[in-house]
Amino acid sequence: MKRDYYEVLGVSRTSTKDEIKKAYRKLALQYHPDKNPDNKDAEEHFKEVNEAYEVLSNDDKRRRYDQLGHAGVGSSAASSGGGHYGGGPGGAADFSDIFSAFNDMFGGGRGRSGGAPFGFEEVFGGSGGGGRRGRASAGIPGTDLKIRLKLTLEEIAKGVEKTLKIKKQVACKECNGTGSKSGATDNCQTCHGTGEVRQASKTMFGQFVNITACPTCGGEGRVIKDRCTSCYGEGIKQGEVTVKVTVPAGVQDGNYLTLRGQGNAGPRGGAPGDLIVVIEEKPHDLFIREGDDVIYNLAISFPDLVLGTKIEVPTLDGSVKLTIPPSTQPETRLRIAGHGIGHLRGSSRGDQYVKVNVFVPKDLSHQDKEMLKEMKKSSTISPAGHHDNNSKSFFEKARDIFS
Ligand SMILES: [Zn+2]
Ligand SMILES: [Zn+2]
């Protein structure tokens, strides 16, 4: 009896494509024949995992499998017809999977967002990207790389250019990214140069033919002849690059910028993946962001609230003088125009609001206390009904009347 594919990958039936991919990569890495030489059990697991992934990663097949089970995808013979995995040591497709898995661990491997123009282009939005590109004509496409970029509110307010050092897969210099010392290639023995593997399977619903990319050559149809010793024939190596990122004003936590072609280099000349820069907003010590406005909480003395004053308050652009008008009520928001966050679309900026509150001291001198007691005798210092300390308050009187 075949195991349920979701069970094989250890994911739920409602899991997303990304979750399935992550689970697959983890398991493929774990059971990879290169890591488990002469281990029949691991080999079986590896086949099972690949088979499950082949179905669940494909929308069509997954739908059929969800409706009809194993019969729906004609997979009953697929496992016995397999056997291409882990052909030679470091078989091409398997290696790329491992690299992808490593990238995932370091935060790479996000779905590409389709349709964005080449170069620095912002694709704003909280959700992940769209569909994957088709296979490049040469090599295996590089994986996307995801990094987090922490920004201060000051940087977000006006936009910022950042120079980042990024560790990623780069083309091997020794072999120019081809993976071969001489550049010579041979026809792939597994697929005989077609780049495809066909697996026919008979089921109670009829015959199904599964066509998949050849696991040995990754669909290229060619395998390299004399392996480059520097990159072990992969054409890529771990390297470090400097990337300039221009972040426009007004970005928010979770927004991301997609830098086309700046992700991991593809094995053996494959198109590079994208670099996805996810914005993280550092909390600010003084300001609270509200959309494109910022709030600053200010506590001033009771006399200042009543009499009015001028006071220096910090803004994202240095301090400015703010006029507190006489008889300002607590919780009043005073606006300092144009000192908020720059609007993502457009050149103007939001505002800063200063929320004014009364400062209530905790430690008072005897003299201060006497002064405050004196102040209480005034007929205008308390709300109506509370001015006489010795008589009943307005609420007490009301209670007496209605009880
Ligand atoms: Zn092949
Ligand atoms: Zn090389």
Ligand 1 centroid to Cα of residue 312, in Å, is: 72
Evaluate whether 216 touches 91 at the Cβ level (below 8 Å).
Answer: yes
Ligand with an atom nearest the CA of residue 197:
1
CA distance 129 to 248: 20
Answering whether pTM is above 0.85, one says no
The two tokens of residue 160 are 């910022």
The two tokens of residue 10 are 């250890």
Ligand 2 centroid to Cα of residue 168, in Å, is: 15
Ligand 2 centroid to Cα of residue 175, in Å, is: 4
Ligand 1 centroid to Cα of residue 197, in Å, is: 8
Ligand 2 centroid to Cα of residue 208, in Å, is: 40
Strands (E), 17-107: none
- Determine the topology of domain 287-402 in CATH: HSP40/DNAj peptide-binding domain (2.60.260)
3-state class of 277 per DSSP? strand
Ligand 1 centroid to Cα of residue 168, in Å, is: 27
Ligand with an atom nearest the CA of residue 187:
1
3-state class of 226 per DSSP? coil
Domain 1-83 identical in fold to domain 111-281? no
Ligand with an atom nearest the CA of residue 92:
1
Ligand with an atom nearest the CA of residue 174:
2
Ligand with an atom nearest the CA of residue 170:
2
Evaluate whether 144 touches 112 at the Cβ level (below 8 Å).
Answer: yes
Ligand 2 centroid to Cα of residue 171, in Å, is: 8
Ligand 2 centroid to Cα of residue 234, in Å, is: 7
Domain residue spans of the chain: 1-83, 111-281, 287-402
- Superfamily of domain 1-83 in CATH is DnaJ domain (1.10.287.110)
Ligand with an atom nearest the CA of residue 223:
1
Ligand with an atom nearest the CA of residue 230:
2
Ligand 1 centroid to Cα of residue 92, in Å, is: 9
Indicate the DSSP class of residue 71. G
pLDDT (0 to 100) of residue 213? 87
The single-letter code of the amino acid at 286 is L
Ligand 1 centroid to Cα of residue 368, in Å, is: 89
Q: What CATH number does the domain located at 111-281 have? A: 2.60.260.20
Other beta carbons within 10 Å of 132: 12
Query: pLDDT by residue for the chain (403 residues), tens digit each?
Result: 678 898 899 888 888 888 898 888 888 888 888 788 888 888 888 888 888 998 899 888 888 888 777 777 764 433 333 333 333 333 333 333 433 433 333 333 333 333 333 222 333 333 333 333 344 346 688 999 999 999 999 999 999 999 999 999 999 999 888 888 887 788 899 999 898 888 888 777 777 888 888 888 878 888 888 889 999 888 999 999 999 999 999 999 999 999 999 999 998 888 999 999 999 999 999 999 999 999 999 999 999 999 999 999 999 999 999 999 999 999 999 999 999 999 998 889 999 999 999 999 999 999 999 999 999 998 888 887 655 555 555 666 666 666 6
CA distance 331 to 19: 47
Report DSSP letters for 157-214, one per residue: HH-EEEEEEEEEEEE-TTTTTSSBSS--EEE-TTTTTSSEEEEEEEETTEEEEEEEE-
Ligand 2 centroid to Cα of residue 296, in Å, is: 56
Ligand 1 centroid to Cα of residue 288, in Å, is: 57
The two tokens of residue 98 are 């491992």
Evaluate whether 280 touches 253 at the Cβ level (below 8 Å).
Answer: yes
Is beta strand 309-313 parallel, antiparallel or unpaired with respect to 275-281? Answer: unpaired
